[in-house]
């Protein structure tokens, strides 16, 4: 089968270079899939009949702007070149493979194969098991990937149980593709994932985390999370999320927390900004916080007199649970801190609706949220999912008012660097005391005074410091 659409000139050039040496070369996987979807990519994956030591000189010649061989033991070498317009094209080339797997590990014993069809049979899904021979542009599709692509269907090229036995991470890739491509998982493949979900436990936390991040940063994170939960994989890798599916009692005394969390995720995505805005899309921290903000509810649920249901302190409990889970998934420290703090603060604004804050409280909100201020406001807005239009309008108006007050206060004060009007050295000098815990207490009091009163004259701040110190001496 031949193809009529535009193909990367760099791919054709490489194909001619390999053919001149008597080697086969084919574009494979994602680039072919994306080409059929009319999506362009600057990262090209190839497979070849040549061994790494045979094609290395060809690739080095082609990739005049960069070369790497970290995957040499797996038969993979890579190179890069820059176009005249400054864009980069990266190519990774792998020798035909016919891998065997140890049942206790997803790391294959690499065996070189001898055919393109054999190499394609070891791919994760049929939509990634298509190839385009270059330079002749022959389309190769032994497992019906093009038909599955047209149907939006994810299916393994071989028996799914064998495929997931060989590499359990493919199960995570399936739910990630649901989120990225909007595909559905074929029934037999979905059944195999559900039956084998526990096998994901042999995959490293870093690999699972990377797939989860790609899912969350996709165009359809909600669909990906639903697939993750429905498959049973979430029970292993993110159990706090399926635990949100609290049973709904006959009197509907509380919302379905799982569905609410998905709605908050949807709404948070819509509140992200363009690249020049304060929360550029896709924002991993905001999206994770939206998904996890209520995970403390199952542990804090209480049935109160009168049939009401409460979740007291679920924000603080949820923040601790979030930190523990993200650590287990080996997220970086900054992501762990930021997501956990957003979960911890997601209820902070709610009292403003009934009684607008003083300037002092507004300053504290901005100070406490710090660099998370814009994300926190978006999480708070996304969390207001009430169907009561009057309450929704009141909440939105209150958020608008608070944000306007912050803008006005920022015109008068440097919120990014709120400090006491006297620093630690001045406290020591003014009070005539030695460095120690008392200086720390004084500094903390003066910071609270600054937050309560805004910037004041130096003499006023000194007077307040003396007043506070006198109280300490009289105790």
Query: Are 1-148 and 152-238 equal in CATH topology?
Result: no
Q: What is the pLDDT of residues 339-384, one digit of tens each?
A: 999 999 999 998 787 788 888 888 888 888 989 999 999 999 999 9
The alpha-carbon radius of gyration of the chain (Å, integer) is 29
Report the interhelical angle of 284-292 vs 221-230 (nearest 10°).
50
Residue 387 has pLDDT above 90, yes or no: no
**pLDDT computed for residue 3 by the predictor:** 45
In eight-state DSSP terms, residue 277 is: S
Q: What is the pLDDT of residues 87-100, one digit of tens each?
A: 889 999 999 987 55
Q: Is 97 helix (H, G, I), strand (E, B) or coil?
A: strand
Architecture, CATH, for domain 152-238 = Orthogonal Bundle (1.10)
Residue with more model confidence, 458 or 163:
163
Residue 262 has pLDDT above 80, yes or no: yes
Q: What is the pLDDT of residues 263-304, one digit of tens each?
A: 999 999 999 999 999 999 999 999 999 999 999 999 998 888
Residues 6+ apart with CB under 8 A from 290: 261, 264, 265, 267, 268, 269, 379, 382, 383
The residues spanned by each domain of the chain are 1-148, 152-238, 271-416, 424-474
**pLDDT computed for residue 368 by the predictor:** 87
Indicate the CATH number for domain 1-148.
Answer: 3.30.460.10
Which pLDDT band, with edges at 50, 70 and 90, does 48 fall under? very high
Q: Is the peptide bond before 282 cis (omega within 30 degrees of 0)?
A: yes
As a whole number, mean pLDDT of residues 109-128 equals 88
- What mean pLDDT, rounded, does the chain reach? 89
Q: What is the pLDDT of residues 219-241, one digit of tens each?
A: 999 999 999 999 999 999 999 99
Lowest mean pLDDT among 51-55, 113-117, 345-349: 113-117
Q: What is the pLDDT of residues 402-413, one digit of tens each?
A: 999 999 888 776
Is residue 234 a contact partner of residue 241, using CB atoms and an 8 Å limit? Answer: yes
Residue-by-residue DSSP string for 184-239: EE-HHHHHHHHHHGGGGGGS-HHHHHHHHHHHHTSS-HHHHHHHHHHTT-HHHH-T
């Amino acid at each position: 089968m031949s193809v009529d659409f535009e193909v990367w000139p760099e791919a054709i050039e490489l194909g001619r270079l390999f053919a001149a040496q008597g080697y086969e070369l084919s574009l494979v996987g994602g680039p072919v899939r994306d080409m059929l979807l009319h999506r362009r990519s600057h990262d090209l994956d190839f497979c070849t009949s040549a061994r790494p030591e045979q094609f290395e000189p060809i690739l080095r010649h082609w990739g005049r702007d960069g070369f790497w061989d970290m995957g040499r033991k797996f038969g993979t070498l890579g190179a890069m070149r820059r176009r005249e317009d400054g864009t980069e094209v990266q190519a990774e080339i792998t020798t035909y493979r016919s891998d065997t797997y140890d049942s206790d590990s997803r790391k294959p014993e690499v065996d070189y194969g001898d055919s393109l069809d054999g190499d394609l049979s070891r791919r994760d899904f049929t939509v990634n098991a298509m190839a385009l021979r270059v330079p002749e542009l022959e389309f190769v599709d032994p497992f019906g990937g093009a038909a599955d692509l047209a149907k939006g269907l994810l299916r393994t090229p071989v028996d799914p149980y064998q495929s997931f036995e060989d590499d359990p991470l493919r199960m995570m890739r399936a739910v990630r593709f649901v989120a990225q491509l909007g595909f559905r998982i074929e029934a037999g493949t979905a059944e195999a994932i559900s039956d084998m979900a526990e096998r994901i436990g042999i995959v490293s936390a870093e690999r699972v985390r990377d797939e989860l991040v790609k899912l969350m940063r996709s165009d359809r994170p909600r669909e990906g999370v639903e697939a993750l939960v429905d498959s049973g994989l979430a029970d292993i890798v993110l159990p706090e999320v399926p635990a949100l599916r609290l049973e709904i009692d006959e009197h509907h005394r509380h919302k379905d927390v799982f569905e609410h969390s998905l709605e908050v995720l949807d709404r948070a995505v819509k509140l992200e900004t363009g690249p020049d805005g304060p929360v550029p899309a896709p924002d991993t921290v905001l999206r994770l916080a939206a998904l996890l903000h209520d995970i403390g509810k199952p542990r804090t649920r209480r049935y109160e007199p009168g049939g009401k249901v409460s979740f007291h302190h679920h924000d603080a409990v949820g923040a601790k649970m979030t930190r523990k889970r993200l650590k287990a998934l080996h997220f970086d420290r900054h992501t762990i801190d930021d997501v956990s703090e957003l979960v911890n603060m997601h209820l902070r604004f709610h009292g403003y609706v009934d009684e607008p804050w003083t300037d002092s409280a507004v300053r504290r909100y901005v100070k406490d949220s710090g660099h998370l201020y814009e994300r926190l406001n978006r999480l708070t807005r996304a969390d207001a999912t009430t169907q009561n239009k009057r309450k929704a309008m009141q909440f939105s108006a209150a958020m608008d008012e608070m944000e306007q007050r912050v803008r006005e206060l920022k015109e008068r004060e440097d919120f990014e660097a709120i400090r006491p009007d006297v620093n630690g050295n001045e406290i020591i000098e003014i009070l005539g005391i030695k460095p120690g815990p008392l200086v720390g207490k004084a500094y903390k009091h003066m910071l609270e005074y600054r937050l309560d009163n805004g910037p004041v004259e130096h003499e006023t701040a000194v007077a307040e410091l003396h007043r506070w110190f006198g109280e300490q001496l009289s105790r």
